[in-house]
Amino acid sequence: MCGIVGCHHVPDAKSFKPTALKMAKQCRHRGPDWSGSYSSNNTVLAHERLSIVGVESGAQPLTNADESIALAVNGEIYNHRLVRKGLKNPYHFKTHSDCEVIIPLYMEFGIDAPKHLDGMFSFVLYDKKQDRTIAARDPIGITSFYMGWSSSMPEARFFASELKCLHAVCDKISYFPPGHIYDSLTDKVTRYYEPSWWDPTKVPSTPVDYKLLRETFEKSVRKRLMAEVPYGVLLSGGLDSSLVAAIAQRETLRLKAAALQQLENGETKTEEDEDIGEGLVGIDDENKLSTVTYLPQLNSFSIGLPDAPDSKAALEVAKFLGTKHHSMTFTIEDGLNALSDVIYHLETFDVTTIRASTPMFLLSRKIKAMGVKMVLSGEGSDEIFGGYLYFHAAPDKEAFHEETVRRVKNLHLSDCLRANKSTSAWGLEARVPFLDKQFLEVAMNIDPQDKMITKEHIEKYILRKAFDVSDEPGAKPYLPDHILYRQKEQFSDGVGYGWIDALKDNAELHVTDEMIKNPKPEWGSDIPDSKEAYWYRLMFDEHFPAYCAETVMRWTPTWSKQTDPSGRAIAIHNQKYEEAK
């Protein structure tokens, strides 16, 4: 991940530039490799770079030939090679960066440019000739992005990767909505992402196609191996991360074998595999060799308290797949000591997000210290397939589908926020194959009756079945059966049940009954419903002004009266484990 800041229509760009650079510095952790800036007229762009693709030549902001267009991007464009080939008008590319294609797309399609992108991104583009700024965010909001206003500069508009970049300058901030684009010519934010599944009242009736589901997800993982730096996979031992790891390992071994075969055959290198001799191989959108870095073995990473449920399962999966596994532990004290930093980086006070983010935050630091800069992760599956245990209580398929659509639309405020900011805090990038546009078109258009949880079908049954090849002669299994059909554990539970218990106990020490009865007036109607939630809100307030709370959403299960969002607090969790004994 990188960090970006865009300041449009400030009174004077030259005098405002030092302020813009200070704003960008607040998210330098996202892009520790280099810093860059661009200013013209009344607009300033600043960029903090984490180099993943186009390492040697992709410094930003990027500009066109006459520097009349400047671009600051945070993200990865997986179809950039196809975009380059498909441009109607010739364009001289200055770099090998995947993100540079946004400039010629804008020149050809204007504000429709994001419709042609396949990836995760937030960007600010300035067109000097039109004195026009546009800003956009990827369809689901995998990359974090905010928009701000200042009453002292009413004509100005501000954009940044993180909240902390804006609150010193802006007195109003909102999250930039995923799948939308801002155009300064109209001063409006409009939605460009219009998938077929967007309307939750249109309940799909397409029966599940297991082969299509499997092949589409494999392609999604495959395209996310695009990198020129060491990468790995986050492996909790649950279904989602294990499937990602299984496919990534297959692809890594396949591509490595293809590269070695190519070298043995003495084949001529093309632009798309020019670095193959250095061990850089991969695929493009047509399954042809491209540039991707592999390690001698695919590295997998897990974290938990000693004897955590997920850590044991992750080790078993790693041995089965043959990855080079790093099982890391943390102590409750480590987690408690990190809480304030976690809240500062996450920019939220949501209980579920903080519980799950703290181990991920600690793990990301260790991964980056090993020299790995990109990891694949399993976020999004539970929202798409109704994998959370509270989905057991869905009254009918219509309600089930409506809830999956709602959850996917809000991922940018929960799991995407966690994955993006927990890793970016240490200059690590997380990619999420389940949120691929093509995969979403397939998975969200399956008849929700096929997704419903029944006595015969465990949660996410159709995803498990899609990768169950036991009835296919000669097929190599993706995962052991008991992992493929392992019951859901929320990450904050799976790292060790003692973690959540310790958080609750410590909240009791920091928050009194009297404090609960007398919440801060500036919190308005957004009152914490537990001492743990109250404690997190106090820490949030230490870092951010009260109005920043408007960007936060609390994660709560539907069809449930529980106040604790932990999966372990849902009765079905204990019931299923009792049945398994």
**Residue numbering of the annotated binding site for ATP:** 234, 303, 377-378
Q: For the packed helices 497-510 and 351-369, what is the interaxial angle rounded to 10 degrees? A: 120
Find, among 492, 498, 234, the residue nearest to 359 by Cα: 492
Q: Following DSSP, what letter does each residue of 379-437 receive, concatenated?
A: TTHHHHHT-SGGGGG--SHHHHHHHHHHHHHTGGGTHHHHHHHHHHTTT-EEE-GGG-H
Tell me how far CA of residue 77 lies from CA of 116, 119, 289, 296, in angstroms.
Answer: 10, 4, 17, 26
Rounded to the nearest angstrom, the gap between the alpha carbon of residue 449 and the centroid of all alpha carbons in its chain is: 28
CB 16, CB 44: distance < 8 Å = yes
Are the C-beta atoms of 291 and 272 separated by less than 8 Å? yes
Pairing of strands 324-329, 299-304: parallel
> Which residue ranges make up the annotated binding site?
98, 234, 303, 377-378
Element (H, E) at 464: helix 461-466
Rounded distance, CA 375 to CA 424, Å?
11
Sheet architecture: strand order including 34-40: 34-40, 43-49, 3-8, 153-160, 146-150, 172-175
Element (H, E) at 3: strand 3-8
Torsion-angle region of residue 206: left (phi > 0), alpha (psi -120 to 50) or beta?
A: beta
CA distance 384 to 402: 11
What is residue 376's three-state secondary structure? strand
Kindly provide the b/e burial profile for residues 413-432, where b requires at least 16 CB atoms within 10 angstroms of the residue's own CB.
bbbbbbbbbbbbbbbbbbbb
Q: Is 265 exposed, middle or buried (0-12, 13-18, 19+ CB in 10 A)?
A: exposed
CA distance linking residue 177 with residue 179, whole number of Å:
6
Q: What is the DSSP string of 127-165?
A: ETTTTEEEEEE-SS--S--EEEEETTEEEEEEEESSGGG
Three-class secondary structure of residue 235 per DSSP: coil
By the 8 A CB rule, do 61 and 71 touch?
yes
- Compute the distance between CA of residue 175 and CA of residue 346 in angstroms, rounded to an integer: 13
Say which residue the tokens 């077929």 belong to: 196
Q: Is 523 exposed, middle or buried (0-12, 13-18, 19+ CB in 10 A)?
A: middle
Selecting among 2, 7, 27, 99, the annotated active-site residue is: 2
Binding residue ranges for L-glutamine: 98
2 is catalytic: yes
Closest listed residue to residue 357, CA positions, set 372, 341, 371, 368: 341
Residue with the two structure tokens 């909102």: 174
Quote the strand ranges of 163-288, DSSP E.
172-175, 180-183, 188-191, 231-234
Q: How far apart are CA 230 and CA 283, in angstroms?
A: 16
Residues noted as catalytic: 2
